[in-house]
Structure 1
Amino acid sequence: MTRKVTRRRVVYIPGYDPIHPRRYRELYRKEGAAQAAISGYEIALQAGQGGGTYGWQVTGRIDGVETRTDVEVLVWSDIVRDSMGQSIPATYVALARTAWVYIGSGALWRLMRLRKGPVIAALYPVAFLILQLFVAIGLGWGAGALANAAMAATGLDIAAPWTGMVLALGVAVAALRWFKARDNRFFAYYLMHDYAFSARSRGANPPELEARMAVFGDAIAGALSGEVDEVLVVGHSSGAHIAVSVLADLIRAGRVPEDGPELSFLSLGQVVPMVAFLPGADRLRADLRYLSEQDVLSWVDVTAPGDGCAFALCDPVAVSGQAGPGKLWPLVISAAFTQTLSPERWRALRWRFFRLHFQYLCAFDRVGDYDYFRITAGPMTLGARFADRQPSKSRIEAPVSKYKSVAA
């Protein structure tokens, strides 16, 4: 008989997100209440225990069992903010460098063979930032031309060329600043810095991230030493590939106790190929292969074709060319937005691409076997919940990556 979970630790690793982690608590509170009302169970939140970390406590009463869950968000938003704190000229330099890395390495063409949605999402900031530059130049040129014409008409055309040039530059700079100030609507700078963050080291982790990942490993090791039934690591978006490496390091170092809690890994909306397909991602590729062969954890990968920002149903191990004979994980399944969201809800969200990328953390009004709140606050371990679940028939497992080298 499967052991019921009455105590759980959830360790959540966000994606490339500069926002304070309180947004995840508020999202969990709001969406958990909505899912509970739909599904007929109870979820209650209260403040976490503190201790220098950010999190909250959840009490779930699901299927007749009360489960207490401590949720901790592993924060790297400060690293994200630092990487985004670049001037407008520096952003355009990063654009050129990132485009060169993905195009010159051949990674872009390989990624297009998997899913076009996330590739379009990657090309969007490039195209929109270039469009912004042309609009700014056009406005500046027009302002300069008008100034020259006005100066000539008044007989002050001796100073007109310089006046026009200064005005043109000022208008162009003002236009670029206007676009950047409204990036919370356009997301062009945000996405550009996201892709540039990985491309800067051609797929290798920057030193500041490696240092933070070691801290994350200590946090998970600490959770595994506690008196809980399950330690569930959740990695969303870019947080998924960070979690892969953190967990691989933890297992290699023998920090997963044999008689400890169940170790589970839930990757959501992953974009692993965006990094694993780059030439310098030897560490990540090695970690993917290693983690996929470990029987000390359960790994379930959830994506959805309706999420245009994720590599939906692409087995991150297999497509990266790291599926060895001992491969056990991940179990690749679909959240199937078109089936688990009502037609009305789907129509409301269909073109809200960034909102859909977070749907894995939200309520479904026609929920299927994937329910984030049953997984995080319910009485079953991740492995037990999906023990009889077959992988999605439409998953992609072809080894598409050009680069298959791994770290020693």
Structure 2
Amino acid sequence: MAGADDSVGRRRVFYIPGYDPFHPRRYRELYRREGAEQARISGYSLRLSPGQRPERYGWTVAFEGDGGASAAEVEVLVWSDLVAASMGRSIASTYWQLLRTVWVYVASGAILRLLRLRKGPAIAALYPIGVLIGQAGLAAAAGLAMLALVRAGGAALWPGAPAAALAALGLGLGAGAGLALLRWFRRHDNRVFAWYLMHDFAFTASAGGAVPKPLRPRLRAFADRIAEALGEDWDEVLVVGHSSGAHLAVTVLADLIRRGEVRARRPALGFLSLGQVVPMVSFLPGGEELRHDLAFLSQREELTWIDVTAPGDGCAYALCDPVAVSGVAPAAKRWPLVVSAAFTQTLSPERRRALRWRFFRLHFQYLCAFDRPGDYDYFRITAGPITLAARYRGRVPSQSRIERAVTRFGTAG
């Protein structure tokens, strides 16, 4: 039973997205659409209205159900501009990123360890490499075909032309054909996501696992924003990190606690990590800061950390304890509580069939409605009348979680 300290009348939610170049309004629309569906299925009321802070991107939510009423102010902590800037590269620089990223993961041995942990995300990492190499091969074939065409037909169209001139013309047209094909592939990447994923993994590996330099000031700003809320009259401050946003949240929260920004009682501090890909960073040599933050956060009494993944999500390190597998679990480890969203149980067979090959949509399922909901409900957690700690009090971790240390780096010290 929830006590007085477990109830929430007013909640502040900070959402940290993953590597996403799109405007954060997509998260408001996703919340609006999927929240209405979940409310219909689960029998509660959820009403959205515009945010109260024009200078920040967010919305407010009114919840009625579960024996109470509550309100939440949701804010997206935006770094999509940094993502868009990192993706705005030439074709040549993208292929250079490919080579450099492959070198970082292969030379460090990280890719072999990641494959030992969960094959799905590692395959997702190899996928854009294979696709981009294949596209380069097709572009080269198109260029060679154009060169052969010019050589074959050039003499007839240009009698007495020097062989060198025909060769130069053929090479120029061939290079143009190959480049045009690569540009076509990039322009239509919204269907295959190979270029997008390549930029994602390249950004992660750009500093060898450390926080990329352009992102550091933004994370400090995120910490300041959350610290401001922790000093206000809220019942709970909830930080949600999705995908690569999960390891960014780890760094932000560790910084907040070290700064002494978290009060002993109210507001309660909750951390919900969803579909995390922490090992993609913590397994790299430069991920020492993240490994230290993981070990630090895992021992803290100032927060409640729930980690939710699902084996049906091939883009996440499902049920992998991010602290333990990174080799930094201390003796006094408290967090995270690793639980499964259990797609095979919480989504009907019909719904699973509809989503079967929509890998990115499945990676976002944590933010969506379940037609056979279990104890994980994103909208109850972010807008409902009890704290994250109360909701999962007494919950045992998933029995199929992975806790063995796989990385060769670091200890909890």
Fold match, TM over 0.5? yes
Q: Could you tell me whether the CA contact under 8 Å between 1:148 and 1:163 is conserved in 2?
A: no
What RMSD, in angstroms, separates the aligned Cα atoms of the two structures?
1.1
Question: 2 CA distance for matches of 1:405 and 1:132?
Answer: 42
Counterpart among 202, 206, 212 of residue 196 in structure 1: 202
Question: 2 CA distance for matches of 1:72 and 1:372?
Answer: 15
Aligned pairs for 1:35-74 (under 5 A) are 35-74=38-77
Matched residue pairs, number? 407
Aligned to 2:379: 373
Cα 1:138/1:405, change in 2 over 3 Å: farther
Question: 1 CA distance for matches of 2:135 and 2:337?
Answer: 42
Q: Residues 33-88 of structure 1: CA distance to partner in whole angstroms, max 9, x if unpaired?
A: 00000011100000001241100000000213110000010001111111111100
Letter paired with 2:143: G
1:263 aligns with 2:266: no
User: When the two structures are superposed, what TM-score results if normalisation uses the length of structure 2?
Assistant: 0.97
Aligned pairs for 1:92-241 (under 5 A) are 92-154=95-157, 155-158=159-162, 159-241=165-247
Q: Could you tell me whether the CA contact under 8 Å between 1:267 and 1:301 is conserved in 2?
A: yes
Counterpart among 9, 14, 25 of residue 11 in structure 1: 14
Question: 2 CA distance for matches of 1:321 and 1:62?
Answer: 42
Q: Could you tell me whether the CA contact under 8 Å between 2:328 and 2:411 is conserved in 1?
A: no
1:294 aligns with 2:300: yes
Letter paired with 1:335: A
Counterpart among 298, 318, 321 of residue 324 in structure 2: 318
Letter paired with 1:264: G
Cα 1:266/1:148, change in 2 over 3 Å: same
Greater CA deviation, 148-157 or 274-283? Answer: 148-157
Question: 1 CA distance for matches of 2:171 and 2:160?
Answer: 15
Aligned to 2:257: 251
1:207, distance to aligned residue in structure 2 (A):
2.1
Greater CA deviation, 209-218 or 153-162? Answer: 153-162
Cα 1:156/1:32, change in 2 over 3 Å: farther
Question: 2 CA distance for matches of 1:98 and 1:405?
Answer: 26
Give the secondary structure class of the aligned counterpart of 1:235.
strand
Aligned to 2:397: 391
Letter paired with 2:410: K
User: When the two structures are superposed, what TM-score results if normalisation uses the length of structure 1?
Assistant: 0.98
1:139, distance to aligned residue in structure 2 (A):
0.7
Q: Residues 115-170 of structure 1: CA distance to partner in whole angstroms, max 9, x if unpaired?
A: 00000000011000000100000011101101210112343552321221111011
In the alignment, structure 1 segments of 5+ residues that lack a partner are: none
Aligned to 2:83: 80
Q: Could you tell me whether the CA contact under 8 Å between 1:315 and 1:396 is conserved in 2?
A: yes
Counterpart among 330, 336, 340 of residue 336 in structure 2: 330
Question: 2 CA distance for matches of 1:31 and 1:156?
Answer: 69
Q: Could you tell me whether the CA contact under 8 Å between 1:282 and 1:405 is conserved in 2?
A: no
Give the secondary structure class of the aligned counterpart of 1:68.
strand
Give the secondary structure class of the aligned counterpart of 2:272.
strand
Give the secondary structure class of the aligned counterpart of 1:398.
coil
Letter paired with 2:99: A
Give the secondary structure class of the aligned counterpart of 1:307.
coil
Give the secondary structure class of the aligned counterpart of 2:13.
strand
Counterpart among 279, 283, 287 of residue 289 in structure 2: 283
Q: Could you tell me whether the CA contact under 8 Å between 2:329 and 2:411 is conserved in 1?
A: no
Q: Residues 328-387 of structure 1: CA distance to partner in whole angstroms, max 9, x if unpaired?
A: 000000001111000000000011000000000000000000000111111111111011
Aligned to 2:346: 340
Identity of aligned residues (%): 62
Q: Could you tell me whether the CA contact under 8 Å between 1:147 and 1:160 is conserved in 2?
A: yes
Give the secondary structure class of the aligned counterpart of 1:183.
coil
Give the secondary structure class of the aligned counterpart of 1:20.
coil
Question: 2 CA distance for matches of 1:86 and 1:157?
Answer: 39
Cα 1:128/1:142, change in 2 over 3 Å: same
Question: Which 4+ runs in 1 deviate beyond 4 A?
Answer: none
Give the secondary structure class of the aligned counterpart of 1:393.
coil
Question: 2 CA distance for matches of 1:258 and 1:16?
Answer: 33
Q: Could you tell me whether the CA contact under 8 Å between 1:106 and 1:402 is conserved in 2?
A: no
Q: Could you tell me whether the CA contact under 8 Å between 2:327 and 2:411 is conserved in 1?
A: no
